[in-house]
Amino acid sequence: MNKKTIRDVDWNGKRALVRVDFNVPLNDALEVTDDTRIRAALPTIQYLLDHGASVVLMSHLGRPKKKVVDTLRMTPVAKRLQELLDRPVKTIGTTVGDAAEQAAQALQPGDVLLLENTRFDPREEANDETMSRQLAELGDVYVNDAFGAAHRAHASTEGVARFMPAVAGLLLERELAVLGAALDNPERPFVTIIGGAKISDKIGVIENLLGKVDALLIGGGMANTFLLAQNKGVGDSLVEADSVAEARRLLDQAQGRGVDLVLPSDVVVADAFSAEANTQIVSVDDVPDGWRILDIGPETRQTFAQVIGGAKTVIWNGPMGVFELEPFAAGTRAVAKALADSSATTIIGGGDSVAAIEQMGLADKMSHISTGGGASLELLEGKVLPGVAALNPR
């Protein structure tokens, strides 16, 4: 990565303004139910504190739609962060303005302040210059450690970096290093597994990967559009009719480049979108009318596992079926298990894939679990992330 990081700064006596991704789930009692993203930021926060800085943290939480929503305040996040850091974490009911400036200026080395939800301010997502300048008043050096938000050009992720020195945190550095190495110089065979509902969301990703991978395994609802492009009947399955031509083009492109693009050969079909539906396993050539494909079948699971088993580098983004419903979870689980059993470098990107890995207790078997679904997808597509581009070059 050709960007400066927190290691390039003398932090003694400085205020670090740190964009983190504390967009964590809360229960009805407003308690954090999964602190993975908070833990992921701890090495950067601890490094800054150990090197004599005071730390001003900012993050979004949920989708407040540009207004104050009391159930999306940062207070529960501050409480959990305080427990993890084992030191006080101050909070303030605003993100910018006089009160925020006074709170930031009062900090002593070793102090931590968490600002209010950045998305309460309608100027955040508009990447408003005035808000960006106000944020820049809260610290001496900006640190972006929010990989999960680095694909957004918002005031707290991109705008603020124009008005103060700006460097990467340790989490952002690691995410870019791992994904960058896999895409630019992978140990081969290099295999990518792409799933999820829609092909239209991932056409750019697939197109970019076809120039890099040795094999591409496709499952989930998006596989149906590819099957339709091969003139196979898919019953009442989810398809994107306006993407069939694109799917056909990608199949031709894979063949022309010698990439093994592997689609399901058998599938689990159901007569309704329900955990109580009638199900059967059929060949992709024999999907009954009125039924819908909701998971890959056992033959496909075995094929995918064999390809994964022979790989040296694997990236997985997106589930193989409707894994939230138990009858259609076997395909996603089979891929997760194959990755856990693999000796390859295994990189998991995307919320549903990560959720499946964690549900199965296999997270510690993976080489890297990305904290940013959308950001990792855009990297896979070959895009430059605005939050990264804004940082100071080395």
For 245-289, how does the pLDDT look when each residue is reduced to its tens digit (9 = 90+)?
Answer: 999 999 999 999 999 999 999 999 999 999 999 999 999 999 999
What is the phi-psi region of residue 382: left when phi exceeds 0, alpha when psi lies from -120 to 50, beta otherwise? Answer: left
For domain 179-380, give the CATH number: 3.40.50.1260
Catalytic, out of 337, 351, 365, 382:
351
**Angle in degrees, 0-180, between the axes of helices 222-229 and 244-257, rounded to the nearest 10:** 80
Burial of 393 (0-12, 13-18, 19+ CB in 10 A): exposed
Catalytic, out of 4, 37, 202, 301:
37
159 catalytic? Reply is no
d(Cα 148, Cα 159) in Å, to the nearest integer?
Answer: 17
Phi/psi for 278 (5° steps) reads -75, 140
At 197 the pLDDT is 87
Task: Give mean pLDDT, residues 197-204.
Answer: 87
Phi/psi for 18 (5° steps) reads -115, 120
What is the distance, to the nearest Å, from the Cα of residue 202 to the centroid of all Cα atoms in its chain? 14
pLDDT for residue 351 is more than 80: no
d(Cα 38, Cα 174) in Å, to the nearest integer?
Answer: 16
Question: What pLDDT, in 10s, does the model give residues 31-69?
Answer: 999 898 999 999 999 999 999 999 999 999 999 999 999
Segments of the chain assigned to CATH 3.40.50.1260: 6-172, 179-380
Question: What pLDDT, in 10s, does the model give residues 59-118?
Answer: 999 999 999 999 999 999 999 999 999 999 999 999 999 999 999 999 999 999 999 999
Task: Give mean pLDDT, residues 291-301.
Answer: 98
d(Cα 116, Cα 118) in Å, to the nearest integer?
Answer: 6
| Verdict on whether the full-model pTM lies above 0.95 | no
Percent of the chain whose pLDDT exceeds 90: 91
Catalytic, out of 148, 220, 374, 387:
374
Q: Residues for the chain: how many in total?
A: 394
Contact by Cβ (8 Å): 336, 356: yes
Catalytic, out of 198, 249, 365, 383:
198
pLDDT for residue 350 is more than 80: no
In the structure, what pLDDT confidence band is assigned to residue 12 with cuts at 50, 70 and 90? Answer: very high
d(Cα 141, Cα 391) in Å, to the nearest integer?
Answer: 11
d(Cα 128, Cα 326) in Å, to the nearest integer?
Answer: 45
Contact by Cβ (8 Å): 112, 75: no
d(Cα 366, Cα 178) in Å, to the nearest integer?
Answer: 12
At 263 the pLDDT is 98
pLDDT for residue 199 is more than 90: no
In the structure, what pLDDT confidence band is assigned to residue 372 with cuts at 50, 70 and 90? Answer: confident
d(Cα 318, Cα 350) in Å, to the nearest integer?
Answer: 6
Question: What pLDDT, in 10s, does the model give residues 143-159?
Answer: 999 999 999 999 999 99
14 catalytic? Reply is no
State which H helix or E strand residue 375 sits in: helix 373-380
Peptide bond into 189 cis (omega under 30): yes
Question: What pLDDT, in 10s, does the model give residues 310-344?
Answer: 999 999 999 999 999 999 999 999 999 999 999 99
At 250 the pLDDT is 97
CATH superfamily placement of domain 6-172 = Phosphoglycerate kinase, N-terminal domain (3.40.50.1260)
351 catalytic? Reply is yes
Name the average pLDDT for the chain.
95
Token representation of residue 382: 């070959």
198 catalytic? Reply is yes
d(Cα 348, Cα 82) in Å, to the nearest integer?
Answer: 29
Sheet holding 368-369, edge to edge: 260-262, 215-218, 190-194, 313-317, 345-348, 368-369
At 190 the pLDDT is 98
Percent of the chain whose pLDDT exceeds 70: 99
